[in-house]
Amino acid sequence: MGIHIMKILIKHKHSFGFSISIRLKTTSAQYVASRVRDPTFEKLMDKYKSLFKVIAIQDLILANPGNPSVSIDFLSRLSQKLHLNRGATSFLRKFPHIFQIYYDPSKLLPFCRLTDAALDVSKQEEKAINASLPMVADRLVRILSMSASKTVPLRAIFKVWRELGLPDNFEDSVISANPSVFQLCDAHEPNTHLLKLVEGVRRNGFRADIEDWRVVECCKEDCNVRTELRFSFKHGYPPGMKLGKNFKAKVKEWQSSPYVGPYEVVVGEKKKSKAALMAMEKRAVSIVHEFLSLTVEKMVEVEKISQFRKWFGIDFNIRDLFLDHPGIFYLSTKGKRHTVFLREAYERGCLIEPNPVYDARRRLLDLVAMGRRGRSAINSNLQDGSSSSDNDGIEAEETQQRHGSLSS
């Protein structure tokens, strides 16, 4: 009824002698689509789209340590789940620097295994992760310390285990190996476990990554804005983004407003004044900023970090939080996923301060980016002795599977 009346008023607005101004509410999807793109991050995410699929297949191959391989038939059945739109064989052949397809005469089936280069990268990453176990434990302590209850669901940690550089068996090698630091307890929900800091473990006194940046900036000889830097965040905007006067004024006001840091305890009831809401938002930004700084690649899927929203006491939509602060974060929607980057950590598509785990993963990304380049040299060095007739047989089998799925 209300909508019908509004339509009549709009249609006959001149007859009524007044004008009507209606502001249409911007949906979340429209807000995401209206953001200013950053070509550097978009090009990087183009590579990551294929990398995520490569990692999924690599994990399947390495899941069988006795014979690290997987049948093409098995991958074909998982094509839809793995988003291999043109089939498993077609995808594997796009990356000859990573995958080798060979025919197993004993099983009369084509299989896939990793190349020597890809195996070397996998071993390098594993070695780097094992060497960083003390650092990984510290990351978990910091994440738990940002929670008001010093507790987070174990399933949320499982969501970001790769982003945090945790080993595959982190429940044993990190959590169980440090009983004086971590404690597993049952939640009220069935089959849900919580990871909690043991009483007495240092929970406060950490200095956030952004605070280290402020100290460095304030110590520079040419720094004349030490007061302004007290609560500031580093900003860098996408190229071509127009910064209006109103926007600059709002950013300046937000930068100078005080807030409670990610590791500090919030005291008092939440208020709804403008200053209180700004302080709450700034604390939320500081928490997700610190969370991103704790990840190996300073990036994470929005869906994964949202698992911690309730436990970190964030009362804002996290995706909108990233969009509201384009100078601090960059949100990409490539590959049918929303991924956020910590803008200040990157320069020309690479981490400014890389770490050993990142270096190994970057090598794999470089192999993905090579695609079929140098394919003839790789094929000449294959040790499986597979002939062109074997490849033809694999192609025929893949074609037959496609026709079978279409007919069904």
Polymer length in residues for the chain: 408
What does the pLDDT average to over 306-327? 93
Cα–Cα dist 348/95, whole Å: 24
Whether the CA torsion 8, 12, 17, 23 is positive or negative: it is positive
Does the pLDDT at position 258 exceed 80?
A: yes
3-state secondary structure of 43: helix
pLDDT category at 223 given cuts 50, 70, 90 is: low
Contact 94, 368 (CB under 8 A): no
104 membership: H or E segment, kind and range = strand 99-104
116 pLDDT higher than 90: yes
User: Hey, what domains does the chain have and what are their CATH numbers?
Assistant: 34-117 (1.10.10), 120-260+272-367 (no CATH)
Residue 111 in this model has a pLDDT that exceeds 80? yes
Supply the pLDDT for residue 9: 42
Task: Please give the structure tokens belonging to residue 132.
Answer: 């960083």
Q: Which of 39, 126, 53, 46 is nearest to 87 (CA)?
A: 53
50-59, 222-231, 243-252: least confident range: 222-231
What average pLDDT does this structure show over 125-152?
Answer: 94
pTM of the model: 0.83
SS3 state at 101 = strand
| pLDDT score, position 225 | 53
pLDDT band per the 50, 70, 90 thresholds, residue 189: confident
- Judge whether residue 8 has pLDDT over 60: no
Check residue 269 and give its pLDDT: 66
Query: For residue 37, is pLDDT > 60?
Result: yes
Per-residue pLDDT reduced to its tens digit, 359-368: 999 999 999 9
Between 131 and 202, where is the model more confident?
131
Question: Which stretches does DSSP call E strand in 208-276?
Answer: none
